[in-house]
Structure 1
Amino acid sequence: MEYPSPGDQFGDRDSGEGVWRPMVAMGRNYRQQAAFDDSDPYGLEMAQQYEDERPPAYNPEVIDLTESPVRQSPARPPRPPRPAVPPRPGLPSASANVSTTQDVVTDLRPEEVRWFYETEEPGKKPQWEPFIGYDSLRIETKYRQVHFHQGNTPPEEKVDLIVVRGGVHEVCVATKHCYPIYWSGKPIKVLRGQWFHDGTWQPVEEDIAAQLETEHLGKWRGQRVPLHSSPTKQQTVLNVRFQDSHVDWYSPSEVFLFSDSKTSRGIRFVGKKLGISKATTSGTKLHRGYRYEAKMDDKPSDITHLVLVIHGIGQKMDTGRIIKCVADLRQAASKIQESHFPHLPDDQRVEFLPVEWRSGLTLDGGIVESITPDKIRGLREVLNASAMDIMYYMSPLYRNEITRCLQQELNRIYQEFCTRNPYFQPKGGKVSLLAHSLGSVITYDIMTGWSPIQQYDQYLSHEKTEHPDLVQVALGQEQLVSEVKRARQQ
């Protein structure tokens, strides 16, 4: 590329001659005269000439408007101030937001505490399921009565049980266990939740939560503190250490739980080197008080339909399986009602109760198990615990025992239910029987009153009338006759 040298002539831009380079200080009248020579290599004299011939700048103060007056519009009245926009219904106003940015630290109210019961599934870690608001408030009220008057309550005095979970369980706040009402089962652990993990809202262990609550109230009780703050911009103001973890307070509302395992400590060390906050790397935020306040109107409606679920064979192999099946049935029925029958009235509810009749039988007293051969014993034990129930029911010696046991269990559950729900019968509550396998056969025989022993007695009476010689019993059949009489008495 060739560059211009001093003394070169620049052609006009429109004519296309030479190379034209406009200068900032030059106008169009001087562009054909833009030439550099040895006396003025930078064009300073020409730029000065352009400045001398430049028209004066516009000055609004020297313009005379007397010859052509401008029509002026009449003065407008001042605009009235805009009225304040009322707050939207259901949303807090701006002043409310300002007032709620701070709160006074006090003891947790009963509505903020939430009680949980333990759920166990095969192959999974036990989880904590929250009680509904109605149950949690009643448990917390009873707990505070016992806890605050513990010194005046004799140890042998029995604490009243609280009926929960739709009326099928009872909670004892003294032992912190939940017991089934209508069937036999192991106690279920319950927990009083005060501090909760962020995200899952699973409760912190009760002993750790109690210590956190003590330290928290000891530091900020009665103080007005902000509800929200950033943990990355503050230092640790309180620290509590446990066996394998520790908790840091950055503010009353920013509390984090940290694990002291080697992996967690290594992650925090790397994060510190990278400038990442400790709470961001491996901390779990903790919340004081449950996310939803418990309310007394959060309760199930009264039971209007009772369904008694009767199991079949095989219950001896897995005692308590009918209880788990009925719980799944109850949950499935609730989901189906919500999705397919939302128009059903809210004041109606169906309750399913398990009827476990196999565990109350004596039968042969374990004779069959004692004479079972060891060869392929596993298969034989399965047959003894399942198919043998059919053989027992077909036997005149044990059939009546099975029938009587199921009948007594049905009456016991229904009487207990009516005692605890006195409104059921006056309101015309319905009762249904849901049976499976052998249970359906036994239920049918109970409802119809059919008995093979009675038919056999009728047959014998008819034969004795026609053949009087049958009244005499041979010597070898006396034991059989006595067993038949005993079966009739049962």
Structure 2
Amino acid sequence: MWISGPIRVRVIAVSSCGNWQRCYSTARQSSVVRWFYASDVPKSKPEAMQYTPTKPPSTFVPFSANDSKRLEWAYNNDPNRKVLVKEDGLFHVNLDRREVAPVYWQGPVFEVRRGLWFYHNGGKPSPCSEQLGLEIEQFYQRAIADDAKTDPKEKHTERVYCLDSLSGKIKFSKDNRSVAWVNPDDSMTLQRLTGGTKVVRGYNDKVDEEQEGAVGADGDTVSDSPAEESLKDKFMSSLFDSEGQMENKSEEDLKHEMESEYDDTDKASSDKTRPDDSTRKVTHLLLCVHGIGQRLARKIESVNFVHDINVFRKSFKALYTETEELQAALNPDRVPVDPKNKDEKSKKSKKDQEGDPSLLNCEVQALPVLWRDSVAFGMTQSERTVHPKGITLDDVTVEGVRAVRHIVGDVILDVFLYKQPNFKRQIIDAVKEEVNRIYKLFRENNPNVGDELKVSLIGHSLGSAICYDMLTNKDDVKDLEFEVENFYGVGSPQGLFLLLEGTSIEPEDLLINGSYYNIFHPCDPIAYRVEPLVDKEAAPCPVARIPYSKGGLNSQIQELSQFGQRITKGATSAWSTVMSSWASKTDKSVQDALKNVLETTRDANDKFQKTLDGQELVSDESEGPEVPRKVAEKLTKLNVNGRVDYGLQEGVLDISLIAALASHISYFENPDMVNLILWSLYKPDGVPVLQENQQSSE
């Protein structure tokens, strides 16, 4: 029940011109403060996207406990500094502007809040705005002071004050001053009828096991974001509706997927069994160079290489955590593995992990290298100075379907331009500058990284050709701030480029310390082999096949199972239709014949399903000649495993044009490729391939 005579106190410390003054000056208890960041509506995006927010953010995610403590320390001691947060400091917080942004690439910028008072209405705790929180805190301190002056017998009374920021009132609980109800002046509002919106002082990360969102003893109040569906699967499956038209909602969904990338690196931060991501050991840095089409990201945000690498990063962390063999490969002296006794191996591994959480650290970091916006090709009006007479692509583009032509230009023209000597040099120089910038910044932000850090390059599509040309040019290699360990060409057209140039691959020309991997999907129309360019006798030899990781095998089995079920379902439907329409028109012999066809189909599917259940899969891959020894010796100079071409295994249903296109843009979410790369980093001479491709002969 509201009491009369509310007290009004003016707020004296508010934000001014975007520069925040230090507030909550009386609330220095770090244990009750938690820092949050918005995850749904960015404050800004890269200038090229021409973005303006249309609504304020409504979803806030807590920083990890460690990041929050460091933010609070900086807030109280050095508020003008930028604080690195998230895994390996991939993002930084500007305390003055209250925003968080990526460190190594351009991306969306989100609001940051220092939370002291939180909304608690049966859901996840959400921080009040800092202005409102400051005002509530001042009234809280006033209530505490008033209690100290009041007779103890009269202390337990509700205290009500007027709020300036909401034009309403706040009522503090008579039993606990850290709990209050905010109510606007409008007596007809829902909040007024239900007693107001509950706010609680201090962040409590526990919830009641029996009631989600209630404050209790166990569980996290802020759950992880939902499991993220493959971006490429979502893009390809929702690109067209049943009538072949573009769906408007799919792009909004994809935006949300990318804007939630800030959540991805913190999912394990509250798990005490995991290492502290802010100080973890990193021994391998993967710099990933994009290919064609990145300029298209200005128009279609789902075409986003940064997101691809975020998915890649999450994939190798998850795969490492789930695979004891990989853990043993990285830590051979700390994770005993007995392949003959899986149960004992599992017990030992789990015991070691519980005693040493660092075993769950894969020691790998991957960062995107974005070069396209650094190169001016004379494509737009702002790049008129590139052509001697100021002519641009806009000037020569035909009027018809101009939008489609621009999309094609944003994708295909990158290849044409790269084959022009002057533009090729611009692109390579831009990539060199960017990889050097990222490398130096990473070492600066992670001083604990020692000389053992190894840097490898991953080039996707055209990016693989750029990296190859850079790594075969002595002057370019000299310009790099680091030595390159491994080079991975992914979905690479380099084999075709070298063929058209009439050149071959000489192992001594590739200036790397480790191995060269040419990884491709058999359905990828952009990818080509390179081994025949090392030695022509390698052409008839089958490529090294990358085995399924656990996830890959299960997904194939599921796909095969669903395929068989669809065959049976279709046959059953067809049988029912035929029988209903022909029952009165066809003699019994025809009906019996059709029935036999159906029964045969069912028997075949039952047998097929039993095979799947037992995982008795038989490869139908045709065997080719073994790799001649002299060819293997040449290939060993490029890759310690004696092979360079590594092919992912083809899925049963990878037979359509859409599947072919999807195969080229989905490498970084493929668990089998992730598995191969991790093995190549941890055990360079022990990369797993299907056994039939490991032999060689004279």
TM-score, normalised with respect to structure 2 = 0.41
Bigger radius of gyration among the two: 1
Matched, 1:160 2:84: no
Could you tell me which of 354, 369, 379 is aligned with 2:368? Answer: 354
Query: Residue deviations 1:226-256, cap 9 Å, x none?
Result: xxxxxxxx97422443436543222314312
Q: 2:189 and 2:319 mapped to 1: Cα distance? A: 44
TM-score, normalised with respect to structure 1 = 0.57
Q: 1:221 and 1:310 mapped to 2: Cα distance? A: 60
1:305 is matched with which residue?
284
1:398 Cα offset (Å): 1.5
1:180 Cα offset (Å): 2.8
1:387 Cα offset (Å): 0.8
**Maintained 8 Å contact 1:310/1:354:** yes
1:304 Cα offset (Å): 2.6
Call closer, same or farther: CA 1:244–1:221 in 2, change over 3 Å: closer
2:110 is matched with which residue?
188
Matched, 1:424 2:449: yes
**Secondary structure of the structure 1 residue equivalent to 2:32:** coil
Q: 2:317 and 2:188 mapped to 1: Cα distance? A: 43
**Maintained 8 Å contact 1:107/1:217:** no
Query: Residue deviations 1:250-294, cap 9 Å, x none?
Result: 2314312346678734x855xxxxxxxx43xxx432221111499
Call closer, same or farther: CA 1:369–1:291 in 2, change over 3 Å: same
Tell me the amino acid that sits aligned with residue 29 of structure 2: R
Q: 2:467 and 2:406 mapped to 1: Cα distance? A: 26
Could you tell me which of 419, 444, 469 is aligned with 1:394? Answer: 419
**Secondary structure of the structure 1 residue equivalent to 2:67:** helix
Q: 2:90 and 2:77 mapped to 1: Cα distance? A: 23
1:220 is matched with which residue?
144
Where structure 2 has 5 or more consecutive residues not aligned to the other structure, the ranges are 1-25, 43-53, 149-155, 207-268, 325-349, 381-391, 474-493, 504-698
**Maintained 8 Å contact 1:162/1:172:** yes
Q: 1:362 and 1:307 mapped to 2: Cα distance? A: 27
1:424 Cα offset (Å): 2.3
**Secondary structure of the structure 2 residue equivalent to 1:111:** helix
Percent identical among aligned pairs is 27
1:338 Cα offset (Å): 4.2
The structure that is helix-richer by fraction is 2
Query: Residue deviations 1:305-360, cap 9 Å, x none?
Result: 21222222111121482233333433444444445567571455322211101000
**Maintained 8 Å contact 2:98/2:111:** yes
Matched, 1:314 2:234: no
Tell me the amino acid that sits aligned with residue 458 of structure 2: L
Could you tell me which of 345, 355, 368 is aligned with 2:359? Answer: 345
Tell me the amino acid that sits aligned with residue 442 of structure 1: I
Q: 1:333 and 1:262 mapped to 2: Cα distance? A: 55
**Maintained 8 Å contact 2:101/2:109:** yes
Could you tell me which of 66, 69, 72 is aligned with 1:137? Answer: 69
Query: Residue deviations 1:390-417, cap 9 Å, x none?
Result: 1111223322221221122112211222
The alignment's C-alpha RMSD in Å is 3.9
Tell me the amino acid that sits aligned with residue 132 of structure 1: S
1:113 Cα offset (Å): 0.9
Matched, 1:403 2:428: yes
**Maintained 8 Å contact 1:133/1:299:** no
Q: 1:243 and 1:324 mapped to 2: Cα distance? A: 39
Tell me the amino acid that sits aligned with residue 403 of structure 2: G
Matched, 1:248 2:262: no
Query: Between Structure 1 and Structure 2, how many residues are aligned?
Result: 321
2:47 is matched with which residue?
none
Matches within 5 A, 1:36-435: 107-120=27-40, 126-146=58-78, 159-166=80-87, 167-185=89-107, 187-198=109-120, 199-221=123-145, 236-241=158-163, 242-243=165-166, 246-251=169-174, 252-258=177-183, 264-265=189-190, 269=193, 278-279=194-195, 283-292=196-205, 299-300=277-278, 301-319=280-298, 321-340=304-323, 345-346=359-360, 348-364=362-378, 366=380, 367-426=392-451, 428-435=452-459
Q: 2:318 and 2:185 mapped to 1: Cα distance? A: 42
1:183 Cα offset (Å): 2.1
**Maintained 8 Å contact 1:134/1:299:** no
Where structure 1 has 5 or more consecutive residues not aligned to the other structure, the ranges are 1-105, 148-158, 225-233, 270-277, 458-490
Call closer, same or farther: CA 1:298–1:448 in 2, change over 3 Å: closer
**Maintained 8 Å contact 2:91/2:100:** yes
